Amino acid sequence: MTQQRIVIGISGATGFAYGIKALTLLKPLNIQTHVVISKAAHVTRAYEAPDISLAQIESLADKIYAVNNIGAAIASGSFKTIGMLIAPCSMRTLAAIAQGLSDNLLTRAADVVLKERRRLVLMVRESPLNLAHIKNMEAVTLMGGVICPPVPALYQHIECLDDIVTHSVARALDLFGLDIPTLPRWGEDLHLNHKPE
């Protein structure tokens, strides 16, 4: 494999912008993006980002697969990737992954990543959490996945909503060992304004 590949899943939780931001940040890098979008995510897109067309999403991705295409390349462990980011990850998708229910291409691709011992990062979106959510997070963690909720870093002097989205997604991509040049880093770009006592 001459070029690294990553799978980007977008599920139906609120936060369609997280998936788009992941593709935007990855676009300048030498990494192929293979994208699968759930049916519910298309509904969310219509509410949250009606100005973003499928054509625009396709222009950001190297390959987009239909969620019911269970025979797609990303459904096989022989198709090498550095892993999969699901941004955002709904509680329904989390539950399916936790229970090994490969009922569509999104959850099958995640299952493949886990079975091949690759990196799976879930930007889970729900609050408050019930016990089923917590147990499903525990199950995925025990399988080797990483639960990475999009939590804003207020120390970066946020100026707009895009700053919050960018920081959360860049930190998630960090977990794949990817260097996102625009990510402000504590101790490098960001410092306390006072000396410690």
Helix H or strand E segment including 147: strand 146-147
87 marked as binding residue? no
Give the pair of three-digit tokens for residue 111. Answer: 């299952």
Does residue 90 sit in helix, strand or coil? coil
Q: How far is Cα 179 from Cα 43, in angstroms, rounded to an integer?
A: 32
102 marked as binding residue? no
Give the pair of three-digit tokens for residue 5. Answer: 């590949």
13 marked as binding residue? yes
125 marked as binding residue? yes
List the strands of the sheet with 4-10, edge to edge. Answer: 63-65, 31-37, 4-10, 83-89, 119-124, 146-147
Q: How far is Cα 102 from Cα 108, in angstroms, rounded to an integer?
A: 4
171 marked as binding residue? yes
Residue 176 contacts residue 85 (beta carbons within 8 Å): yes
24 marked as binding residue? no
Helix H or strand E segment including 23: helix 16-26
Number of neighbouring beta carbons within 10 Å of residue 139: 16
45 marked as binding residue? no
95 marked as binding residue? no
76 marked as binding residue? no
Binding-site positions read 12-14, 38, 90-93, 125, 155, 171
Extract the annotated binding site for FMN: 12-14, 38, 90-93, 125
Name the binding residues for dimethylallyl phosphate.
155, 171
